[in-house]
Chains A and B, each alone.
Chain A
Amino acid sequence: MSEVTISRRSVLAGSALLLASTALPTIGWAQTPKKGGRLVVAADSEPRNLNPAIVASNGVFFISSKIVEPLAEASFDGKDGLDPRLATSWEGAADGLSVTFKLREGVKWHDGKPFTSADVAFSALQIWKPLQNLGRTVFKDLEAVDTPDELTAVFKFARPTPFQLIRNALPALTSVVPKHIYETGKIEENPANNAPIGTGPFKFAEHKSGEYYRLERNGDYWGQDQPYLDEIIYQVLPDRTSAASALEAEEIQLAAFSAVPLADLDRISKVPGLKVITKGYEALTYQLVVEINHRRKELADLKVRQAIAHAIDKDFVVKTVFLGYAATATGPVPKNDPQFYTADVPTYVFDVAKANALLDEAGYSKGDNGKRFSLKLLPAPYFNETKQFGDYLRQALAAIGIDAQLVNNDSAAHIKAVYTDHAFDLAVGPPVFRGDPAISTTILVQSGIPDGVPFSNQGGYKNDELDALIAKASETLDPAARTELYKEFQKKVAADLPLINVAEWSFISVVRDTVGNVANNPRWAVSNWADTYLES
């Protein structure tokens, strides 16, 4: 976390004071939280399924993490970066074949039934492993969950599974849902998927499609005196500009996940009573990546890929596209990851002359029109920043004689073009780093993934050495040895460039200064807000 902050500050030299003045007061406010009040929050989309045990994504967590809780949550200062939630302790066996969870006592579901180890076993075996977007990978070897008593759950794996991975997966992948609600009928069609029942500090009250979600205080919550808020309202604001206006008009008190566009932050930070906060997303890092189709003859040549890497001015991208709210990247693990990141990798300084020389060496000399060859470039449409970087990359490539043709699609069309049809030469993607490279990072470069799997290596890249390294890391139990392997992994990726990591960014919250306990954990926007409060 510290490294991102430092680089952000150095980039933001001019506005550093401003950032410091707005970000600091949120932590260490020695004030007793007030009880009561309605917190109104901007929501830009309405997920079609609100069950976080099935869909582990930020859009779902943003709302349902207040209702349904995981076994543990990410933490700035807890052991291994975790804070207990439904589990109070967790321990991995030396052989990697089992993990024992001790569960919290006296926890009740929102319908009054007691929470037990049977719920954990059911969620793990019936939902996380077979149905969850991320769990299908991480829990693939989970064979059984023993429940010797009501407060103990023992996960049994068919093959040795690194405890480090399971631990890192706890916050995002282990939302527990009630067995008694889900055991009858098809899990995917259960009505509770749209009106979740959990153990969290807030109960689901209602959803008016296109208008709002309403959550109300759970009076039986296990946390002492918590939650402080009476109600949380997620107001659906589909237009990009409306969150900022709604904050100014005091109709909402919080806009998370950069609902206020970066370009508006400077103005909005000057509005009295509003704060711009960059903390609270440290465990939700997005990576700006150039995906490469290695089936293209030119791009299969390492020299060409190196030339492209040298042609990108990462500092400029951070300053111009992200207005300083990002950090430059060196490889496939973001700088703010406390466990795995290494800076000891081959780097590519911005050097147009060198890039041109590399392309000449590779045998692609400039034609009469100053062009070497043409490429199809598909920027992902999910973020303003990925589209803007697409525009930048086109110009950067023009400077080294590569003519990139931009193809802009909407989400569905982009997913199909890149990950199923492979109808791209270069693509701009925003993969997410989820605290452990084995969750959703190694898949970006590993070979042998079927067509159509999104956010995976669909560029036809195959490197046996890298594949072997990934396989070895996936069965290495010793955390230190496993971490070393992933450092090796970062070096190899940076050296061979199956893709080019350009920048890493996270989100910004804009909040009224009456809201207390904001951004106090690395997944704050998608955590349970049990301790969040409103001053009168």
Chain B
Amino acid sequence: MTRALLLLRRRLVGSVFVLLIVVIGTFLLLEAAPGDAVDAYIASTGGDAGMIELLRHRWGLDQSALTRLATYLWALLHLDLGQSVTFSRPIRDVILERLPNTLLLMGSATALSFGLGSALGIYAGARPGGFRDRLLSIGSLALYAVPGFWLGLVLIIVFAVDLRWFPIGGIESIASGKTGLDRAADIARHLVLPVSALGFIYLALYLRMMRAGMAEVWRQDFVLAARAKGLSRRRIVLAHVARNALLPLVTMLGLQSAQMLGGSVVIESVFSVPGLGRLAQEAVAARDTPLLLGIILVSAVLVIVINLLVDIAYAFLDPRVGASEAGA
């Protein structure tokens, strides 16, 4: 356990730096984009010079970029994410409202792609080069090549419009008054299509990685030894080959979490899921700098935490890893 704690401490120190760079970088990028929050706002309302000046003043946009950045960082130091100009509400509340939906979507999709992907990978890798392997490889590659939004639209047309098995979108039925298990079932029903769309695309990645890993492990001496011992094929595949090929997948899981956040922007729009990705897109369009910074910050923390968890899991799964890190 102390090993994990040491790792945690080392990571936290590094993370603060990463976050600072992320915040300043995002701020500068958005500063470089032409037009500010007032420009974005008056695009839908119009208004005269006096009103525009009033808005710039009220939203603090008449101050220099440096002042605004300093103010933001100072507030951040006090764990205050500030006020959104789009929502006229504290950013913390806006993000906390959306975060669970994105986590649910991302978590389920990751579980789907990792679980099903590695299982199919084992199936394919049990006999590399065999018929099943070929079929799965081609199938998964085709899925991987499909753009997320397209898969989402096809799923909608088939399963929501034609068959009407699942709702078109949203996270739950509107003002249904459902509670407890009923509500959970309702949310699950709404999640089936978006989770499939997001999960199936990344499934190929795990499948191919698992399969490739296994193909390599098959050539190792200890597999030969296991065979010589007369172990059943099933046991060799699961306990020896697959287990050794699984480790890189866990690393991938951490790396993919960032990818998954990006992919959910598209899926959230297509399926009208009120999540963080869609919020980020709206924040950019509205040039709502503090809101976007808040979202990026929360996403960055999320990715860092997931990777930390992966590293800890890794340290437990493979005794060779972590020993050196913890010793340093």
Chain A residues with a Cβ under 8 A of chain B: 40, 45, 47-49, 55-57, 59, 131, 133-134, 136-137, 188-189, 193-194, 206, 208-212, 214, 231, 233, 235-239, 241-242, 245-246, 248-249, 251, 382, 409-417, 420-421, 440, 449-455
Contact = CB atoms under 8 A, between A and B. Distances in A.
A413 B286 CA distance: 10
B272 A137 contact: no
25 contacts: A59-B44, A133-B45, A133-B47, A133-B48, A136-B48, A188-B58, A208-B274, A214-B175, A235-B174, A237-B272, A245-B156, A409-B34, A411-B39, A411-B285, A412-B33, A412-B36, A412-B43, A414-B43, A416-B36, A417-B35, A440-B46, A450-B49, A451-B49, A452-B52, A454-B47
A237 B88 contact: no
B254 interface: no
Contacts of A206: 175
A388 B174 CA distance: 36
Contacts, number: 151
B34 A416 contact: yes
Contacts of B170: 211, 235
Interface string B281-313: 000011100000000000000000000000000
Interface in B250-273: 269-270, 272-273
Interface residues on B, range: 35 or more
Given A55-B45, A455-B46, A209 B274 contact: yes
Interface string B159-196: 01100100111110011000000000000000000000
Contacts of A193: 88
A413 B43 CA distance: 10
Nearest to B35: A412
B134 to A, nearest CB: 35
A206 B175 CA distance: 9
A238 B272 contact: yes
B278 interface: yes
A56 B47 CA distance: 10
A245 B174 contact: no
A210 B37 CA distance: 19
Contact of A210 (B47, B157, B279): B279
A423 B44 CA distance: 20
Contacts of A137: 48
A251 B161 CA distance: 10
A412 B285 contact: yes
Contact of A133 (B46, B97, B156, B168): B46
Contacts of A214: 174-175
Contacts of B4: none
Given A48-B87, A209-B87, A413-B35, 17 more contacts: A40-B174, A56-B45, A59-B44, A133-B48, A189-B88, A194-B88, A210-B273, A211-B272, A212-B175, A214-B174, A233-B174, A242-B168, A246-B168, A412-B43, A416-B34, A440-B46, A452-B52
Given A245-B168, A416-B35, A453 B49 contact: yes
Contacts of A449: 49
B129 to A, nearest CB: 42
Most buried by B among A55, A214, A251, A450: A251
Contacts of A209: 87, 94, 97-98, 274
